[in-house]
Amino acid sequence: MTGADMPFVKESFNLPEPAPGEVLVRVAGCGVCHTDVSYWHYGVKTKHELPLTLGHEISGTVVAGDPAWIHKSVIIPAVLPCGECDLCRSGRSNICRKQKMPGNDFHGGFASHILVPSRFLCPVPDSVLKKYPLEQLSVVADAISTPYQVVKKSELTAGDLAIVIGAGGVGIYGAQLAKIFGAKVLVLDINDEKLSMAKANGCDAVLNSKNLDLKMIKDWVKNTAAELKAPSTGWKIFEFSGSKAGQDTAFGLITFASTLSIVGFTMEKTEVRLSNLMAFDARIIGTWGCRAELYPEVIELIDSGKLNPGPFVQTFPMSKINEVFNNTLEHKYNKRSVLVPD
C-alpha cells in the first residue's frame, strides 16, 4: 500500500535473516479483512508509515530461523504480544501495549514471506492439513479466532439465545461458534445469500433486516425466541457488521441481563441512551483480536470436526489484490477472500 485508495504495487525485497527468537514464514494464504480495507480506504492510520505491506490473517510454513519451528505449518496470530507485561500476565495478552500486528506495525502477509517472532506461533497438526489446505486455514488468525474469543468472553452457555448481527466473513464463524457452544442462534443481515448460508450451516433462524425498523426486528426476535423455547432475557448479542445501522440495532435489542459484544469496526458514530444498561442491568463488552493462547483451542475445534472453515472461504491469486480489494469494498463477495502467493 502506497496511499489511500491507491493501487497496490508489487515490490521485490531480499529475504530477511531471522534474528534469535524469529522465524521466516513462507506465506500459504492471507485473508482480506475489513481492517485492511479500513486502512486502504476509510482513513484508519497504520502504525508503520507507508508504504506498507498489509495483511494480518496469515498461514504458512516456517522456512528459516528458530530450529524448533523449521518446516512446521503455522498460523500467525493477528496480535503478537510481548508475553511479559501486566496485561499479558493477567490473561489480556490480546491488548498488550507492546503488541505487534502484521500489516500494521510491520510488513504483513500480502507477500511471499513474512518475518515474525516465533514465541506465539500456533502449529497446525497434520490431521488438520489432511482435511483443509493450509491457505484456507489463514482465516483462523482473525475471522475465526476473534469471534471465538468474544463468544467465550460473553459467557455464552448452552441454551442461551445468541443474536448475530452481520453474517459476513467474521459473523458467519461467530454464528457457527455460538451454535457449537449450545446456543439457539438467530442471524440478522441484509444479504439473502449470506443468510441462506447461515441457515444451511445450522443457525436456527435468520432475518433480512433491510427496511425493517427496530420495533419490527425486536418483535421478530421475541416471537422467534418463544418458538424456539429460548430465554426471553439474558440475550447474548454479537455485533459483527461494523456498521452504524448494525450497532444501532444491536443496542436496541438489549433487554434484561443482556450482554452486547462489539466486534465489528466502523468510523461512524452512533448515539445511544446508556441508561438502558442501568435499567436492564445489562453490559456491553468489546474485543480486540484474540489471545494467542486461545488459538490451539480453535484448531482443536477444526480437528474434531465441530467447526468447518471451508464453505466460507474463497481463494484468489495474490496478483489480483487490487481487484479483490475493490470488489470487497463494493460488497461483491459473500465469503472470506484469501490471497495466495502466485
Residue 267 pLDDT: 87
Rounded alpha-carbon distances, angstroms, from residue 313 to 12, 136, 137, 169? 28, 7, 9, 8
**Does 4 map to a domain?**
no
Q: On the CB side of 170, how many CA atoms lie within 13 Å of its CA?
A: 30
Q: What is the mean pLDDT of residues 296-323?
A: 96
Residues 306, 279 within the same domain: no
The tally of domains found in the chain comes to 2
Q: Per residue in 85-95, pLDDT tens?
A: 999 999 999 99
What CATH number is given to the structural domain containing 277? 3.40.50.720
Q: What is the mean pLDDT of residues 202-227?
A: 97
**Does 3 map to a domain?**
no
- For 313-341, the three-class secondary structure string (H helix, E strand, C coil) is EEEEEHHHHHHHHHHHHCCCCCCEEEEEC
Residues 163, 266 within the same domain: yes
**Does 105 map to a domain?**
yes
What CATH number is given to the structural domain containing 62? 3.90.180.10
Q: Per residue in 238-270, pLDDT tens?
A: 999 999 999 999 999 999 999 999 999 888 999
With a cut of 90, say whether residue 79 has pLDDT above it: yes
Residues 229, 252 within the same domain: yes
With a cut of 90, say whether residue 47 has pLDDT above it: yes
If one counts every other C-beta atom within 10 angstroms of the C-beta of residue 32, the result is: 25
Residues 303, 267 within the same domain: no
Residues 242, 214 within the same domain: yes
Residue 145 pLDDT: 97
Q: What is the pTM of this model?
A: 0.95
**Does 313 map to a domain?**
yes
**Does 10 map to a domain?**
no
**Does 199 map to a domain?**
yes
Residues 278, 295 within the same domain: no
Distance CA 188, CA 239 (A): 10
Q: Per residue in 267-289, pLDDT tens?
A: 899 999 999 999 999 999 999 99
**Does 229 map to a domain?**
yes
Q: What is the mean pLDDT of residues 187-193?
A: 96
The boundaries of the domain holding residue 112 are 22-142+290-340
